[in-house]
Amino acid sequence: MRIIPSVRSLLFAVVMLAMSAGSFAQIAISIRIGPPAIPVYEQPLCPGEGYIWTPGYWAYDYDEGDYYWVPGTWVLAPQVGYLWTPGYWGWGGGAFIFHEGYWGPRIGFYGGINYGFGYFGNGYEGGRWDHDRFYYNRSVNNVNVTNIHNVYNTTVINNNVTRVSYNGGNGGINARPTPEQEAAAHERHIPPVSAQVQHVQAARTNPEQRASVNHGAPAVAASARPAEFNGGGVVHAKQAGAPYNPPANHGQAEQRANANVPRPPNNVPRPGNATPVHPNDLSPHQRPAPVNSGNPKSDQKYQQQQDKLYAQQERDHQKLQQQQEQEHQRMARQNANDAQRQQVEQRHQQQTQQMEQKHQQQQERLQQKQPENRNPPKQQK
**Dihedral sign for Cα atoms in the order 103, 83, 174, 213:** positive
Same domain, 105 and 220: yes
Q: Residue 339 falls within a domain, yes or no?
A: yes
| Residue 380 included in any domain | no
**Is 274 within a domain?**
no
Residues 234 and 328 both lie in one domain: no
Tell me, yes or no, whether 178 and 255 share the same domain.
yes
Pair (24, 104) in one structural domain: yes
The reported pTM is 0.63
Note the pLDDT tens digit of each residue in 109-131: 999 999 999 999 999 999 999 99
120/162 same-domain check = yes
* Residue 3 is assigned to a structural domain of this protein: no
pLDDT tens string 161-213: 789 999 998 899 999 999 999 998 888 888 898 899 999 999 999 999 999 99
Predicted local distance difference test score (pLDDT) of residue 113: 96
pLDDT attached to residue 275:
59
Percent of the chain with pLDDT over 70: 81
Decide which of 234, 269, 304 is a domain's last residue. 269
- Helix residue ranges, H only, 242-337: 250-257, 296-333
Q: Are residues 103 and 195 in the same domain?
A: yes
CB 97 within 8 A of CB 268: yes
Q: Is the predicted pLDDT of residue 9 greater than 50, yes or no? A: no
- Give a yes or no: residue 299 inside a domain: yes
pLDDT beyond 60 at 67: yes
Q: Give a yes or no: residue 276 inside a domain.
A: no
User: How many structural domains does the chain have?
Assistant: 2
Say whether both 69 and 212 belong to one domain.
yes
53 and 170 in a single domain? The answer is: yes
Packing angle, helices 7-18 and 338-367, rounded to 10: 110
Distance CA(288)–CA(12), nearest Å, equals 29
- Domain housing 336: 281-367
Question: Where is the domain boundary, 200, 234, 269?
Answer: 269
Co-location of 361 and 292 in the same domain: yes
In a domain, 374, yes or no: no
Q: Note whether 328 and 212 are same-domain residues.
A: no
Domain assignment present for residue 2? The answer is no
Query: pLDDT of 342-380, one tens digit each?
Result: 778 778 887 888 888 888 888 878 887 888 766 555 555
Domain boundary among 235, 269, 303: 269
The closest of 26, 64, 51, 71 to 199, measured between CA atoms, is: 71
